[in-house]
C-alpha cells in the first residue's frame, strides 16, 4: 500500500485505537461456528479451528458461512487481506438473508495493484434493494497484520467499525419510507473471489494470475447476537441484549467517525447528484453519518 495513504494520519489513528473502548470476547472455533460453502481445499481451517484461510486461483475462489442465523447483534472478525498485487480480488465479510427480497450488510475489500491502497466498500440492502454505498481508504496497511472489522446491527441502526473505530452509521428511517433490515434473520458470510471486471479502478486493472494463489486470512470470529432457531438462544445476557439493541455513538465515537469520513472516505452515495439526478435518497437529508 502506498505510504501516502496513511502516513499523515498514522499518529492520530494510533491514538484513537489506544483510546477507544476495546470489547473483549472469546472467539469461537471455526469448526463449531462455520461451514465451508465453496472452493474445496482452497478453504482451510487451521490451528485447531482458530484460523481460517481462503485462496483464489484462476479456477475458483472460496467462502464460508455461519452455521447459525441471527437477528441483531454485534459481529466481529479479524482479517488479514491479500498482500502484494491484489488487483481484481474481492475479500468479504458480511451478513445476509436469503431470497429475492433479501437483506444484507456488507464489508467488501477491493484489491489493488502493488503500492496502491485497498478500497473498503460498504453497503446496506433491505428487501432486495441496495445502492447505499460508501467507500474508504484505510489509515493502515490491511495486509501487514490482522485488524478487527465489526458490524453492529440493531433495530435502530447499523454501525460499521474498524478496530473499534466507527466508520459508518446507517440509521433506521422507516418513518420516512426507507426500508431497514430488521425482520429477516441473517447468516454471517465471508469469501474471496475474482471481480476484475469492476473491482479495481473500475475494471481497468485485471487480475494477474501469475501471482495466484491469492490468500486472505480470518480469525477470532465472535457473535454477541440473538441466534434464531428452534434450539437457539442469545449468546449474551438480557442486560447485554438491552444495551446492544440500542447501541449508538457517544461523543468520542462521533468525533472518530467525523475524522474517518473527513479524511478517509472516497465515495458517498449521498453526495452523488449525478447518480441521483431527480434528488438524493431521502435518508441522505437525515443524518450525516449514513
Note the pLDDT tens digit of each residue in 227-279: 998 555 555 545 455 555 667 899 999 999 999 999 999 999 999 999 999 99
| pTM for this entry | 0.88
What are the catalytic residues? 104, 108
Q: How confident is the model at residue 15 (pLDDT cuts 50, 70, 90)?
A: very low
What mean pLDDT do residues 136-165 have? 98
Task: Assess whether pLDDT exceeds 60 at residue 67.
Answer: yes
Worst-scoring range by mean pLDDT, 42-51, 84-93, 229-238?
229-238
Q: Count CA within 13 A, CB hemisphere, residue 155.
A: 8
Residue 235 pLDDT: 52
Which grid coordinates are listed for 146?
Answer: 490482522
pLDDT in tens, 19-46: 333 333 346 799 999 999 999 999 999 9
Residue 289 pLDDT: 76
Cα–Cα distance list, 85 to 2, 61, 68, 223 (Å): 12, 16, 34, 32
Cα–Cα distance list, 137 to 178, 206, 223 (Å): 28, 20, 26
Beta carbons of 102 and 125 less than 8 angstroms apart: yes
Task: Assess whether pLDDT exceeds 90 at residue 14.
Answer: no
Q: Largest Cα–Cα distance in the chain?
A: 54
Q: How far is it, in rounded angstroms, from Cα 171 to Cα 96? A: 18
Residue 8 pLDDT: 38
Distance between first and last Cα of the chain: 27
Task: Assess whether pLDDT exceeds 50 at residue 127.
Answer: yes
Residue 22 pLDDT: 33
Task: Assess whether pLDDT exceeds 60 at residue 165.
Answer: yes
Residue 3 pLDDT: 40
Task: Assess whether pLDDT exceeds 60 at residue 9.
Answer: no
Cα–Cα distance list, 113 to 5, 76, 161 (Å): 14, 28, 25
Q: What is the dihedral of CA 56, 57, 60, 63, to 10 degrees?
A: -10
Amino acid at each position: 500500500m502506498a505510504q501516502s495513504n496513511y502516513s499523515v494520519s498514522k499518529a492520530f489513528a494510533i491514538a484513537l485505537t489506544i483510546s477507544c473502548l476495546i470489547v473483549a470476547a472469546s472467539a469461537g472455533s471455526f469448526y463449531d461456528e462455520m461451514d465451508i460453502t465453496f472452493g474445496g481445499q482452497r478453504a482451510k481451517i487451521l490451528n485447531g479451528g482458530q484460523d481460517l484461510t481462503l485462496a483464489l486461483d484462476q479456477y475458483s475462489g472460496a467462502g464460508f458461512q455461519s452455521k447459525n442465523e441471527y437477528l441483531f447483534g454485534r459481529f466481529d472478525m479479524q482479517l488479514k487481506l491479500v498482500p502484494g498485487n491484489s488487483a481484481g480480488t474481492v475479500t468479504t465479510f458480511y451478513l445476509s438473508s436469503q431470497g429475492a427480497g433479501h437483506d444484507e450488510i456488507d464489508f467488501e475489500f477491493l484489491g489493488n495493484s502493488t503500492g496502491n491502497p485497498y478500497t473498503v466498500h460498504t453497503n446496506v440492502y433491505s428487501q432486495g434493494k441496495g445502492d447505499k454505498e460508501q467507500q474508504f481508504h484505510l489509515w493502515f496497511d490491511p495486509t501487514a497484520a490482522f485488524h478487527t472489522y465489526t458490524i453492529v446491527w440493531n433495530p435502530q441502526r447499523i454501525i460499521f467499525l474498524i478496530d473499534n473505530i466507527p466508520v459508518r452509521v446507517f440509521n433506521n428511517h422507516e418513518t420516512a419510507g426507507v426500508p431497514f433490515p430488521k425482520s429477516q434473520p441473517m447468516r454471517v458470510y465471508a469469501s474471496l473471489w475474482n471481480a476484475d471486471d469492476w473491482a479495481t479502478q473500475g475494471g481497468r486493472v485485471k487480475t494477474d494470475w501469475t501471482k495466484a494463489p491469492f490468500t486472505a486470512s480470518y480469525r477470532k470470529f465472535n457473535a454477541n447476537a440473538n441466534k434464531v432457531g428452534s434450539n437457539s438462544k442469545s449468546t449474551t445476557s438480557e442486560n447485554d441484549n438491552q444495551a446492544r439493541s440500542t447501541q449508538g455513538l457517544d461523543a468520542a465515537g462521533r468525533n472518530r467517525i467525523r475524522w474517518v469520513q473527513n479524511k478517509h472516505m472516497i465515495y458517498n452515495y449521498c453526495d452523488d447528484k449525478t447518480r441521483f439526478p431527480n434528488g438524493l435518497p431521502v435518508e441522505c437529508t437525515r443524518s450525516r453519518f449514513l
